[in-house]
Amino acid sequence: MSGMPQIVYDAGKGLLRWWLDREREMVKVQRIRRPDDDSLQPALALCERLLPQNEVDSPADVARWLAEIEQETAEGRCRLVDYLLVSKIDQQVCGVLYGHYYPQYKLMFLSYMVSDDTIPKARDGKATQSLMKYLLKARDHELSDMEGIVFEMAYPKSTLREKNLRCRSRSRLFEFYAQQLDITVRVLNSPYQQPRLELGGKEYEEERQLLAYGRTCAPALSQSIPRSEAEHVLSFVYSGIYGDQFEGDPHQDRQYREYLDDMYRRVTQDLPLDVPLISASAV
């Protein structure tokens, strides 16, 4: 403050505080809990525009899931906590995060996170960082028992350079935003297959992907995890995330769960005692 008049110094501090408060107030985060929420359709439209078709849930499915979760929660029999978050600037949806927390596994699965960079005020990560900060605050109450996050990432297998770069870019972006929550994310360095979404048809085939995982409590991930921990993560994905696809149809439900059980055995049978991890940015 040498040589600076006190009044100028105080004015500068006040201006900085005003600017930071303005930035915080600019982005609002809303949690969608009901299928009739006015923000649901613009949020899903944003996802459909920015994500590959095979990675986006249909509006009808999302609305149905929200209605089911609302009813099951009211009846005290819901097995998961949904986090469908939207960030808004000037009442316009500019970012979406969709996550599913399963208390039984103490893990959250992140389906997707996008931001609309065509909105100038949403650039520089403002929209997505606000979504991650919302989850950070939730760890103080509703997510206090959470032990980790899990998400799938496209395997960069294409011969097209542009597509491979896009896959790697999204991998690094997920890793970066997880770091905003003080979570070290690593990819399981073992073969992972995303299951078919239905049996009998050829429209949805098994697909090789990368499975990323990060602990939300100490110690942070390093070079490897015990086989038992990797099995827990994989069981969460196959049984928890994909296992309820056909709960409304007992016959299909039984067949699909048998298929998932077999897939889990195939993926885990050759896991070493210490499963190696790699950085998403190194894939």
pLDDT per residue over 107-153, tens digit each?
A: 999 988 888 988 888 877 778 888 988 988 898 899 999 999 999 88
Q: Please tell me whether the overall predicted TM-score, pTM, comes out greater than 0.95 for this model.
A: no
Closest CA relative to residue 208, chosen from 151, 153, 170, 279: 153
Q: How far apart are CA 231 and CA 55, in angstroms?
A: 24
Paired tokens of 171: 């991998």
- State the Cα torsion 26-31-32-38 to the nearest 10°: -20
pLDDT in tens, 204-254: 678 888 899 999 988 999 999 999 999 999 999 999 999 988 877 888 889
Is residue 166's pLDDT more than 90? Answer: no
The reported pLDDT for the residue numbered 188 is 95
Q: What angle do CA 222, 228, 233 make, to 5 degrees?
A: 75
Paired tokens of 138: 């939730």
The reported pLDDT for the residue numbered 154 is 78
Q: How far apart are CA 250 and CA 238, in angstroms?
A: 18
CB 186 within 8 A of CB 223: no
**CB-neighbour burial class of residue 36 (10 A; exposed 0-12, middle 13-18, buried 19+):** exposed
Paired tokens of 12: 């500068």
The reported pLDDT for the residue numbered 25 is 55
